[in-house]
Amino acid sequence: MFKSITNCKYFIIISCIISWSSFAGNVSPNDPAIASAHPLATQAGYDILKQGGNAFDAAVAVSSVLSVVEPYSSGLGGGGFFLLHRESDQFQIFVDAREKAPGKADADMYLDEFKNVIPRVSLDGTLAAGIPGLAAGLTHVSEKYGVLPLDQVLAPAIALAENGFPVYERFITALKVAIAIDVMSPKFIENFTLEGEIPEVGTLIKQPELANTLRVIASQGHDGFYNSELTETIVTESNESGSIWTTNDFKNYEIVEREPLQVKFSDYQLTLAPPPSSGGTTIATILNILSEYNYRDMNTAEFVHLITEAMRRAYKDRSEFLGDPDFVVVPVLKLISKNNAIKHSSSINLDRATPSKQIGKSFEANPKEKGTETTHFSILDQDGNRVSTTQTINTWFGSGYMLPSAGFILNNEMDDFSAKAFAPNRYGLVHGEANSKAPNKRMVSSMSPTFIESKDDLAILGTPGGAKIITMVLLSLISWTEGADADAMTSGRRFHHQYLPDEIHHEKDAFGEDVIDSLVSKGHSLKEIGDYGNMQVVTYKKSDGSVKASSDPRALIENSEIDFY
Ligand code: GLY
């Protein structure tokens, strides 16, 4: 059933699956492990496992609770990707619950009469929102892969929406950012503030309308959200606030099950996100370029220069070729081929930075988001089933528009399309025609849920962070292959280059002075930015069955105890 990697045509290969479990004997994880951005979500996942659920049931519980307690990151008004592994038959699948452009979307909908981009229309309010996919993802994962009934796995989220969750510092930070933008809808202000004032830590936030919406999904499944009275209300209310949504957009919404990218790197089998995520393709391209060099023999400065040059070229490919594979041909095999790596390597000078304008076009690209939006969780159950999920409403609190009756915030994912060719989005990312808007098309994403497996061990990882998701996962992945543990993966200092702007963005202390001097002497521009990301990692050592869950120390939400197994 499984082909050996050596029989495959490409250096890095799609659709070649190695079953490491055949090498590993029958050892199972000693415990389940869950890492998520909020203790209440992690707790809900463990509770569902205790009730007899599997990792897929737990994923639905964690995801839906995050929608309630972390509404600045993700929610029923957004979408996500679920990377699944079923241990019994080694089946792996990528459930694409990404938002889609409404049927009335138009390539020029965010341009003025002179074809200039109208600022913030793709970010604020209902016109910025794609048709949400998360509810379809939840019902699909539950019904096809779970063992518990949907109402049971949604029960923790319903209870927290009904009874309230305590406000915490990170929520307040997000709220302050949102309120400063001043586009939050009346229901948003009513739900999340005390008549416009920021609530104190510990204040209970109740969301009865959201509880009702979750109940409708629990009782009616997919149709409860996409083809019901609730759908009519969602569309009517959003239309009253300017959206172009129709009930047909909802009736037509479906998740897509896609083959994950399967890639070999060193002794590791990587399971990566395929288009419309740009994550897997870009990570594989960078790793392929690295593999053209003895990078392990390099000192830190030499390595950072090389990987920066690889990032620059892979993100350039991303900007030109990535799009919704149901609408455009994305040449994934070509991009992740050895030939492409050789081509890119031939233009790399190990002594000098290559100006981005020398390898492509030059566009203004000024990222406005640091890289904390969105959310990720990782799960391993005791049978060895795995889930790696990243879900989002795009920027913090998405479009800022909360539906009065349904009680969830609409995404502003339409900003992930190009407003026009090579106009930078909120993350400073530029895209070509492949990612132009069209009715019912999915916008390119950077979300990169990932598995890394060898015959000895396994890591399940991912992170929020917009354009920087890809390089965060890349750096952690490489560190894992060099012996880092889960905590080192989540805490490692980060740096990033995305082709445009032509700058290395880095956290404080990511580099020593000697590395900075060396990079500058090679012609790189460096920009120190604050900490970013919120990585969630689960690891498993097959030799002794030990597991570890690690949450990013940059964004830990304390004040809550988890009843682990
Ligand atoms: N909205 C961010 C992403 O999907 O990449």
Q: Whose CA is nearest to atom 4 of ligand 1?
A: 445
Ligand 1: which atom is nearest the Cα of residue 446? 5
Considering the domain architecture, whether residues 353 and 472 belong to the same structural domain is answered as: yes
Q: Which residue has the higher pLDDT, 530 or 378?
A: 378
Confidence of residue 180 (pLDDT cuts 50, 70, 90): confident
Considering the domain architecture, whether residues 183 and 100 belong to the same structural domain is answered as: yes
Please write the tens of the pLDDT for every residue from 238-295.
999 999 999 999 999 999 999 999 999 999 999 999 999 999 999 999 999 999 999 9
Spatial CA neighbour of 508 closest among 482, 542, 532, 474 = 532
Ligand 1: which atom is nearest the Cα of residue 427? 2
Ligand 1 centre to CA of 330 (Å) is: 18
Considering the domain architecture, whether residues 385 and 354 belong to the same structural domain is answered as: no
Q: Whose CA is nearest to atom 1 of ligand 1?
A: 394
In a domain, 105, yes or no: yes
Ligand 1: which atom is nearest the Cα of residue 394? 1
Residue that the structure tokens 């779970």 belong to: 146
How many folded domains does the chain comprise?
A: 2
Cα 248 → chain centroid: 27
Distance CA 145, CA 184 (A): 37
Ligand 1 mutation pick, 396, 446, 496, max ligand atoms within 8 A of CB: 446
In a domain, 22, yes or no: no
Spatial CA neighbour of 124 closest among 225, 243, 237 = 243
Give the list of residues 6+ apart from residue 448 with CB closer than 8 angstroms, or none: 272, 273, 277, 279, 280, 283, 390, 462, 463, 469, 470, 473
Strand 495-496 to 547-551 pairing:
unpaired
Distance CA 83, CA 260 (A): 8
In a domain, 430, yes or no: no
> Is residue 259 within 8 Å of 274, Cβ to Cβ?
yes
The pLDDT assigned to 412 comes to 97
In a domain, 20, yes or no: no
Neighbours of 521 (CB within 10 A): 12
Considering the domain architecture, whether residues 290 and 399 belong to the same structural domain is answered as: no
Ligand 1: which atom is nearest the Cα of residue 395? 1
Give the list of residues 6+ apart from residue 373 with CB closer than 8 angstroms, or none: 72, 73, 392, 394, 395, 396, 464, 465, 466
The pLDDT assigned to 558 comes to 62
Ligand 1 centre to CA of 2 (Å) is: 32
- Per the structure, the complete domain to which residue 275 belongs is given by 259-368+448-561
Distance CA 167, CA 26 (A): 44
3-state secondary structure at position 453 = strand
> Is residue 554 within 8 Å of 487, Cβ to Cβ?
no
Distances (CA, A) of 215 to 153, 188, 417: 11, 20, 32
Burial 453-468 (b: 16+ CB within 10 A, else e): bbeebbbbbbbbbbbb
Distance CA 401, CA 367 (A): 23
- 374, 390, 471, 490: the active-site residue: 374
Considering the domain architecture, whether residues 299 and 266 belong to the same structural domain is answered as: yes
Ligand 1 centre to CA of 432 (Å) is: 16
In a domain, 17, yes or no: no
Considering the domain architecture, whether residues 123 and 174 belong to the same structural domain is answered as: yes
Ligand 1 centre to CA of 309 (Å) is: 23
Average pLDDT over residues 376-386: 98
Distances (CA, A) of 147 to 79, 143, 323, 443, 542: 23, 8, 34, 32, 25
Q: Which residue has the higher pLDDT, 542 or 361?
A: 542
Confidence of residue 369 (pLDDT cuts 50, 70, 90): low
374 as an active site residue: the answer is: yes
Question: Is 80 exceeded by the pLDDT of residue 9?
Answer: no
Please write the tens of the pLDDT for every residue from 114-124.
999 898 999 99
Considering the domain architecture, whether residues 69 and 156 belong to the same structural domain is answered as: yes
Considering the domain architecture, whether residues 167 and 52 belong to the same structural domain is answered as: yes
> Is residue 260 within 8 Å of 279, Cβ to Cβ?
no
Rg of the chain over Cα atoms, rounded to whole angstroms, equals 22
Q: Which two tokens stand for residue 36?
A: 């998520």
Q: Give the CATH number of the domain where residue 474 resides.
A: 3.60.20.40
Please write the tens of the pLDDT for every residue from 413-472.
999 998 877 777 887 788 888 999 999 999 999 999 999 999 999 999 999 999 999 999
Distance CA 27, CA 545 (A): 6
Quote the crossing angle between the two packed helices 55-69 and 208-220, to the nearest 10°.
150
Ligand 1 centre to CA of 503 (Å) is: 21
Considering the domain architecture, whether residues 182 and 252 belong to the same structural domain is answered as: yes
Ligand 1 mutation pick, 413, 442, 448, max ligand atoms within 8 A of CB: 413
In a domain, 434, yes or no: no
In a domain, 316, yes or no: yes
- The one-letter code for the residue type at 516 is I
Considering the domain architecture, whether residues 302 and 404 belong to the same structural domain is answered as: no
Considering the domain architecture, whether residues 175 and 75 belong to the same structural domain is answered as: yes
Ligand 1 mutation pick, 411, 447, 470, max ligand atoms within 8 A of CB: 447
The model's pTM? 0.94
> Quick one: CA torsion of 408, 410, 411, 414, rounded to 10 degrees?
160
Please write the tens of the pLDDT for every residue from 291-340.
999 999 999 999 999 999 999 999 999 999 999 999 999 999 999 999 99
Mean pLDDT of the chain: 92
**Pocket around ligand 1: residues whose beta carbon is below 6 Å from it?**
374, 392, 394, 413, 416, 445-447, 466
Considering the domain architecture, whether residues 246 and 313 belong to the same structural domain is answered as: no
Ligand 1 mutation pick, 98, 394, 397, 414, max ligand atoms within 8 A of CB: 394
Ligand 1 centre to CA of 369 (Å) is: 11
In a domain, 476, yes or no: yes
Let me know if 402 is exposed, middle or buried by CB neighbors in 10 A (0-12, 13-18, 19+).
buried
Ligand 1 centre to CA of 472 (Å) is: 14
Q: How far apart are the first and last CA of the chain?
A: 35
